[in-house]
């Protein structure tokens, strides 16, 4: 067992095992990404981006755009942020093939540590306008138009993408919050239905930071009635080796870090899906939505 402790340690099924790291390798695809800077009003952001046309994707003006928002402190690790935000493997040949080609945009918050070592400058409402403006500028200047526009966010980035969708719903088609309970109220979910937007909610029922029974259970009935929603609510966050995920972040956070499974395309290493409703993983689900149009 890990040296840390979380209540779920006592619930691990007999015969199961703990997996302390994802099975994919970090950094192998960083050279596929470009780095840029974007300024808006008095703020400047770094961002990473991937152009599928450089790797053979045919540009019909309808390629998908995946915009990834990282979690707190992930901006402090340099290029590794590309991986931690969940985006790296989505630039791989197999993922891109299933997607039919997809642009990737990764805005990076201006994070830093204060004198007491606490992270400051993480995603907040102060970033709404510049991230939205970067998104529009990217489409105008780095693409020949795009098709399906998908927001994906990890942890605090998940909360941020939900708020972006709330504020600029007409500009996005799908939002995929991973590891957050900061959902819109029922009236907000009604707007999704009215405007034909899609929510893919991904959170583990044993998330260490967002207790499912306390935070989300009472929302399930309304979520299940949405016109376009997919609820990925696993009992356990698992790595590609099928082991129960454990991560030492100073505290146990393996079950919270479901984005690692998202980066694995919600597929195990042996080719079986983490959810039988997703036989081709998340890339297949996104591709299906791209075919039906925004």
pLDDT-based confidence at 250, cuts 50/70/90?
confident
Helices of type H across 113-185: 128-142, 156-167
User: pLDDT tens digits, residue range 139-165?
Assistant: 999 999 999 999 999 999 999 999 999
Please report the pLDDT score of residue 105 as a whole number. Answer: 99
Instruction: For residues 253-275, give the mean pLDDT.
Output: 94
Domain 7-292: CATH superfamily, name plus number: Alpha/Beta hydrolase fold, catalytic domain (3.40.50.1820)
Please report the pLDDT score of residue 208 as a whole number. Answer: 87
Q: How much is the pTM?
A: 0.96
Q: Of 126-135, 180-189, 253-262, where does mean pLDDT reach its minimum?
A: 253-262
Q: Is the pLDDT of residue 3 over 90?
A: no
Please report the pLDDT score of residue 291 as a whole number. Answer: 84
Please report the pLDDT score of residue 1 as a whole number. Answer: 44
What does the chain come to in residues? 294
pLDDT-based confidence at 292, cuts 50/70/90?
confident
How many angstroms separate the CA atoms of 179 and 203, rounded?
Answer: 5
Q: What is the mean pLDDT of the chain?
A: 95
Radius of gyration of the chain (CA): 18
Degrees to nearest 5, angle at CA 32 with 270 and 232: 40
- CA distances, 213 to each of 7, 62, 153, 179, 218 (Å): 14, 40, 22, 14, 8
Please report the pLDDT score of residue 294 as a whole number. Answer: 55
How many angstroms separate the CA atoms of 225 and 110, rounded?
Answer: 38
H-helix or E-strand spanning residue 74: none
Q: Is the pLDDT of residue 92 over 50?
A: yes
Neighbours of 291 (CB within 10 A): 11
Instruction: For residues 2-30, give the mean pLDDT.
Output: 88
Please report the pLDDT score of residue 5 as a whole number. Answer: 74
How many angstroms separate the CA atoms of 274 and 265, rounded?
Answer: 9
Instruction: For residues 158-187, give the mean pLDDT.
Output: 98
Q: Of 57-71, 87-101, 206-220, 260-274, where does mean pLDDT reach its minimum?
A: 206-220
Six-digit token string for 258:
């479901």
User: pLDDT tens digits, residue range 64-86?
Assistant: 999 999 999 999 999 999 999 99
More confident of the two residues 251 and 243 = 243
- CA distances, 111 to each of 2, 74, 123 (Å): 30, 8, 9
Going by the DSSP 8-state scheme, the letter that residue 91 receives in this structure is G
Contact 160, 123 (CB under 8 A): yes
Q: In what order do the strands lie in the sheet with 229-232?
A: 34-40, 43-50, 102-108, 64-69, 149-154, 174-178, 198-202, 229-232
Q: Which residues contact 149 (CB under 8 A, 6 or more apart)?
A: 64, 65, 67, 171, 172, 173, 174, 294
Which residue, 142, 144, 150, 147, is CA-closest to 59?
Answer: 144
pLDDT-based confidence at 2, cuts 50/70/90?
very low
User: pLDDT tens digits, residue range 190-244?
Assistant: 999 999 999 999 999 998 899 899 999 999 999 999 999 999 999 999 999 999 9
- CA distances, 147 to each of 13, 64, 101, 174, 208 (Å): 43, 5, 11, 11, 36
| E runs forming strands in 10-96 | 18-19, 34-40, 43-50, 64-69
């Amino acid at each position: 067992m890990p040296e840390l402790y979380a209540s779920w340690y006592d619930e691990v099924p007999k015969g199961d095992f703990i997996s302390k790291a994802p099975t994919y390798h970090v950094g192998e695809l960083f050279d596929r990404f470009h780095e840029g800077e974007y300024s808006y009003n008095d703020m400047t952001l770094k961002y990473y981006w991937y152009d599928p046309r450089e790797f053979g994707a045919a540009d019909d003006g309808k390629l998908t755009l995946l915009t990834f928002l990282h979690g707190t402190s992930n901006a402090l690790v340099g290029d590794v942020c590309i991986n931690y935000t969940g985006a790296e493997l989505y630039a791989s040949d197999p993922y891109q093939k299933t997607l039919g080609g997809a642009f990737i945009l990764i805005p990076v918050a201006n994070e830093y540590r204060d004198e007491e070592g606490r992270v400051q400058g993480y995603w907040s409402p102060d970033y709404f306008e510049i991230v939205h403006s970067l998104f529009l500028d990217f489409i105008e200047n780095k693409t020949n138009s795009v098709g399906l526009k998908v927001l994906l966010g990890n942890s605090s980035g998940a909360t941020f993408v939900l708020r972006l969708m709330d504020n600029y719903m007409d500009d996005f088609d799908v939002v995929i919050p991973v590891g957050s309970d900061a959902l819109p109220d029922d009236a907000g979910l009604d707007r999704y239905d009215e405007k034909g937007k899609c929510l893919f909610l991904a959170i583990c029922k044993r998330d260490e930071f967002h207790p499912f029974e306390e935070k989300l259970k009472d929302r399930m009935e309304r979520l299940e009635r949405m016109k376009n929603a997919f609820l990925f609510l696993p009992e356990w966050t698992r790595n590609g080796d099928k082991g129960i995920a454990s991560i030492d972040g100073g505290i146990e956070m393996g079950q919270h870090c479901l984005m690692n499974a998202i980066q694995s395309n919600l597929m195990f290493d042996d080719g079986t899906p983490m959810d039988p409703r997703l036989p081709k993983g998340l890339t297949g689900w996104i591709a299906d939505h791209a075919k039906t149009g925004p």
